[in-house]
Amino acid sequence: ERTPVPSRLDVLVVGAGFSGLYALHRLRELGHAVHVVEAADDIGGVWHHNRYPGARCDIESVDYCYSFSDELIREWDWTERYPAQPEILRYIHHVADRFDLRRDITLGTRVTALTWDEGAVRWTARTDRGDEIAADHVIMATGQLSVAQIPAIPGLDDFAGGWYHTGNWPRDGVDFTGRRVGVIGTGSSGVQAIPQIARQAAHLTVFQRTAHFAVPARNRPLDQAYAAALKTRFAEYREQARNHPGGTHRVLSRQSALEATPEELRATFERHWNNGGPDILAAYRDLISDRAANEKAAEYVRGKIRELVRDPEVAERLIPRGYPFGTKRLVLEIGYYETFNRDNVELVDVRATPIERITPAGVRTGEREHPLDTLVFATGFDALTGALLKVDIRGVGGASLREKWAAGPRTYLGISTAGFPNLFFIAGPGSPSVLSNVLVSIEQHVEWVSEHLEHLRKNGLRRSEADLEREDAWVAHVNEVAAATLYPVGNSWYLGANVPGKPRVFMPYVGGVGRYRRICAEVAADGYTGFHLS
């Protein structure tokens, strides 16, 4: 039974993942008529869709959670250092029940169009179920990595076996027992799924285009004494993250990798390798800004791959080259490299021998046909802008957001875009979201937008629109801070590089979560500079 969508709202929230659920809770508490519309048949966002074997967060569980409720923090116990998808999804369901969110969520309904009505000073939303909703404000909580990207390889329709994308995994799972499986893609999703599939399948062929840098997760049961102690000072703990460049607790070294001796480098990297996790990126202050410094870390990891993979030829193929360490998202792995020591696993370098087509019986590369029963696409997402531009958004004068962003997304603070009043993005392009602990960013965005809506209400204001010049200045600032790093050098989804034809623009804000928070707070304190309010 579908929960009906009210036809008139103060705030329409699109998406029922971490962002949308918190926006609903927060705005409802403030007394707004707010409702969430979600395309999927259940809540959870990416954690609903990414059910592939091995799916796990690359942020620690004690950080990857909400902080808005002390009771919630006290009553929820994580079990692992890095939470697996089923546990995160249980957490999300727990939150929805705990705060009675479901009554204001309509599932199985996709918002297809948003049209600004200047006369009425509000949006009209349309859905694929025929709803028409009038809302004063719209919050897009549609996710950063929610539109699965399936490459246009000829012949997919002819494939006789089953095929799946990691980001759209069937609810009942996939049984690989006795199957010959192919996995295309070796980013975070592929690297997580490959060891799990290899254990089940009769044979696994991994099609790799780019070798990604991966470091051990060193996942383990969460130390419950540590977690309990953390709960007693969680507010302070989280406050530190809010003011940290990455929204985390990563210790940032002040030392240059170029000043360290080879012995020091080795000892430092070794310590990080053994601890596991992505903190190795901050082992020296210049790893992400100086190519020569970066190369020290890259060489260390290459050496590790050579140690872990028995066949030297396979090891060479798995070794990342030609782009800096950590500039494509650093992958956390669990038994990934060792998987290539198994007899039933084969690595195909599709840069050397490109995939020509998919046949009914498998995948044909320039070299030969690889017979397959099942094909898995771990090929990533149309990140950051994909879900926003899937909706036909028409702002002032009928202008289309797709057209406005044709050469890349343009936002003010990652939250809003000129010409589209009363429309807010949670963790949008131009915000630090994907380069931070995204839960810290999501909470900040939702709280900032909620306060903004409170400000409008208290002052009898109905319309809020970002100023175009301020937006241009923000875009310039986002580019400027990115250009001071090596990030734009990696061909990553941060740049849209994984989607053919997508404009190459570095989308996340790398200026730091703490700095971003201060900028947003100043904008609010000054009466929302850069916004036209009326």
Residue 167 Cβ vs ligand NA7, minimum distance, rounded to whole Å: 6
User: For ligand NA7, which residue of 142, 189, 327, 385 counts as binding (CB under 6 A)?
Assistant: 189
User: For ligand NA7, which residue of 45, 182, 187, 432 counts as binding (CB under 6 A)?
Assistant: 187
Long-range contacts of 416-420 (CB under 8 A, 24+ apart): 416/464, 416/465, 416/466, 416/531, 417/466, 417/471, 418/465, 418/466, 418/467, 418/468, 418/471, 419/395, 419/465, 419/468, 420/116, 420/393, 420/395, 420/396, 420/465
Round to whole Å and give the CA distance between 516 and 407.
Answer: 24
Pick 122 or 209: Cβ nearer ligand NA7: 209
Is residue 533 a contact point for ligand NA7 (CB under 6 A)? Answer: no
Residue 58 φ/ψ, nearest 5 degrees: -100, 20
User: For ligand NA7, which residue of 14, 89, 184, 293 counts as binding (CB under 6 A)?
Assistant: 184
Is residue 431 a contact point for ligand NA7 (CB under 6 A)? Answer: no
List the structure tokens of 472: 């241009």
Neighbouring-strand partners of residue 36:
13, 105
Q: Using the 8-state DSSP alphabet, how is residue 409 labeled? A: -
Pick 190 or 430: Cβ nearer ligand NA7: 190
Residue 530 Cβ vs ligand NA7, minimum distance, rounded to whole Å: 29
User: For ligand NA7, which residue of 380, 409, 432, 514 counts as binding (CB under 6 A)?
Assistant: 380
Is residue 488 a contact point for ligand NA7 (CB under 6 A)? Answer: no
**314: CB partners within 8 A, 6+ apart:** 340, 347
Is residue 185 a contact point for ligand NA7 (CB under 6 A)? Answer: yes
Residue 340 Cβ vs ligand NA7, minimum distance, rounded to whole Å: 15
Is residue 143 a contact point for ligand NA7 (CB under 6 A)? Answer: no
Residue 183 φ/ψ, nearest 5 degrees: -120, 125
Q: Which of 146, 141, 145 is nearest to 19 (CA)?
A: 141
User: For ligand NA7, which residue of 3, 98, 113, 151 counts as binding (CB under 6 A)?
Assistant: 151
User: For ligand NA7, which residue of 19, 186, 417, 441 counts as binding (CB under 6 A)?
Assistant: 186
Residue 80 Cβ vs ligand NA7, minimum distance, rounded to whole Å: 17
Is residue 365 a contact point for ligand NA7 (CB under 6 A)? Answer: no
Is residue 277 a contact point for ligand NA7 (CB under 6 A)? Answer: no
Round to whole Å and give the CA distance between 20 and 387.
Answer: 14
- Compute the chain's Rg from CA coordinates: 23
Is residue 188 a contact point for ligand NA7 (CB under 6 A)? Answer: yes
Residue type, 360: P
Is residue 155 a contact point for ligand NA7 (CB under 6 A)? Answer: no
Residue 168 Cβ vs ligand NA7, minimum distance, rounded to whole Å: 11
